[in-house]
Amino acid sequence: GAVVSQHPSWVICKSGTSVKIECRSLDFQATTMFWYRQFPKQSLMLMATSNEGSKATYEQGVEKDKFLINHASLTLSTLTVTSAHPEDSSFYICSILPLASGTIYNEQFFGPGTRLTVL
């Protein structure tokens, strides 16, 4: 069964609105979750690392004030795309790193993704 869920699976919104995407870990607790985006015909690009109980760390070139991340519990991280514009249209995918993953060899589990279209 699914290990990670995302909601919504797809969303269409008008330019200027904000969109919240939820990532839930169903089977594990996760102090660390990751947010990626994937533009058409491109690969996944890491946007930020979401840390439970602390601020997210963003990759270079990703605006922290535009992509707000909240990781309030060990099973939920949210990504809010603020004042969305058409260029933010993309496939947003989260992944979790299960708690007690002691080494770098442990598998990340990916959510099914959220397809955002900004008109």
Partner 1 sequence: RKEVEQDPGPFNVPEGATVAFNCTYSNSASQSFFWYRQDCRKEPKLLMSVYSSGNEDGRFTAQLNRASQYISLLIRDSKLSDSATYLCVVNKAAGNKLTFGGGTRVLVKP
Binding site for partner 1 (CB under 8 A): 32, 34, 36, 42-46, 49, 91, 93, 95, 97, 101, 104-108, 110-113, 115
Instruction: State the distance between the two ends of the chain, measured CA to CA, in whole angstroms.
Output: 34
**Distance in angstroms (rounded) separating the CA atoms of residues 47 and 81:** 12
Instruction: Name residue 10's amino acid.
Output: W
Q: Are 106 and 40 in contact (CB under 8 A)?
A: no
Which residue number, 63 or 107, has a Cβ lying nearer to partner 1?
107
The distance of closest approach from Cβ of residue 82 to partner 1 in the complex, given in angstroms and rounded to an integer, is: 24
| Shortest spacing between CB 20 and partner 1, in angstroms | 19
Residue type for 22, please?
E
Name which of 84 and 96 has its Cβ closer to partner 1. 96
Describe the strand order of the beta sheet including 67-73 as a list of residue ranges. Answer: 4-7, 19-25, 76-81, 67-73
Nearer to partner 1, 6 or 78 (CB): 6
Q: Find the shortest distance in angstroms from Cβ 16 to partner 1.
A: 26
